[in-house]
Structure 1
Amino acid sequence: MQVTTQTLGTGPTQVTVTLYLPDAIADFQHPQMRPLAIILPGGGFDFHSQRESEPMALAYAAQGFAAVTVAYRLTAAGPVLPVALWQIATVVAYYHDHAAELHLASDHIILAGFSAGGYLAALYADLWADPALATPQILPVAKRQVSALALAYPVIGLRLGWPKLAAKSRAIHGDFTRHEADQLVTSQNPPTFIWATQTDETVPVQNTLAYLTALTQHKIATRAQIYESGPHGLALARSQTAFPVSFRPTDPTWGERYCRADVAQWLTDELAWLARLWRLDAFWREQ
Structure 2
Amino acid sequence: MINHEFICGEPNFPVTVTLMQPAAIADFHNQPRRPLVILLPGGGYRFYSDRENEIVAFQYLAQGFTVAVVQYRLITAPPVLPTALIQLGMVVAEFHRHAADYGISSDHILLAGFSAGGHLAALYADLWPLLGWDCHVATTDLKIDALALAYPVIGLRLGWPTDEATRAAITANWPAHEADQLVTSQNPPTFIWTTADDETVPAVNTECYTAALRQNRVSVTSKIYPHGPHGLSLARAVTAFPREFDPTLGERFIRPDVAKWFTNEMAWLGELWHLDEFWLNQG
- TM-score band by shorter chain is over 0.9
AA at the equivalent of 2:36 = L
- 3-state SS of paired residue (2:12): helix
Query: Which residue number in structure 2 is paired with residue 14 of structure 1?
Result: 14
Pairing of 1:115-130 with structure 2 (within 5 A): 115-130=115-130
* 1:86–1:135 Cα contact (<8 Å) kept: no
Indicate whether 1:220 and 2:226 are aligned.
no
Q: 1:211-252 deviations in whole A, cap 9, x for unaligned?
A: 00000000101111100000000001111111111222xxx1
Q: Give the RMSD, CA atoms, in angstroms.
A: 0.8
Give 5+ residue unaligned stretches, structure 1.
Answer: none
AA at the equivalent of 1:230 = G
Aligned equivalents of 1:144, 1:272: Cα separation in 2: 25
Aligned equivalents of 2:149, 2:167: Cα separation in 1: 20
Cα drift, residue 135 of structure 1: 4.0
Q: 1:185-212 deviations in whole A, cap 9, x for unaligned?
A: 0000000000000000000000000000
Cα drift, residue 12 of structure 1: 3.1
Aligned equivalents of 2:90, 2:160: Cα separation in 1: 27
* Count of aligned residue pairs for this structure pair: 282
Aligned equivalents of 1:246, 1:15: Cα separation in 2: 35
1:241 to 209, 217, 239: 239
- 3-state SS of paired residue (2:264): helix
Aligned equivalents of 2:30, 2:194: Cα separation in 1: 40
AA at the equivalent of 1:134 = G
Cα drift, residue 179 of structure 1: 0.7
TM-score (norm 1): 0.97
Aligned equivalents of 1:191, 1:12: Cα separation in 2: 32
* 2:89–2:135 Cα contact (<8 Å) kept: no
Query: Which residue number in structure 2 is paired with residue 44 of structure 1?
Result: 44
Cα drift, residue 256 of structure 1: 0.9
- 3-state SS of paired residue (2:158): coil
Aligned equivalents of 1:209, 1:149: Cα separation in 2: 16
- 3-state SS of paired residue (2:265): helix
2:279 to 268, 276, 284: 284
Give 5+ residue unaligned stretches, structure 2.
Answer: none
AA at the equivalent of 1:255 = G
Query: Which residue number in structure 2 is paired with residue 253 of structure 1?
Result: 248
Aligned equivalents of 1:246, 1:92: Cα separation in 2: 40
* 1:230–1:260 Cα contact (<8 Å) kept: yes
Cα drift, residue 13 of structure 1: 2.0
Pairing of 1:166-181 with structure 2 (within 5 A): 166-181=164-179
Aligned equivalents of 2:134, 2:11: Cα separation in 1: 9
Q: Percent identity?
A: 56
Aligned equivalents of 2:241, 2:70: Cα separation in 1: 23
Aligned equivalents of 1:78, 1:11: Cα separation in 2: 17
- 3-state SS of paired residue (1:68): strand
Aligned equivalents of 1:137, 1:160: Cα separation in 2: 29
TM-score (norm 2): 0.98
Cα drift, residue 136 of structure 1: 3.9
AA at the equivalent of 2:108 = H
1:200 to 195, 198, 204: 198
Pairing of 1:1-287 with structure 2 (within 5 A): 1-130=1-130, 133-248=131-246, 252-287=247-282
Aligned equivalents of 2:83, 2:203: Cα separation in 1: 27
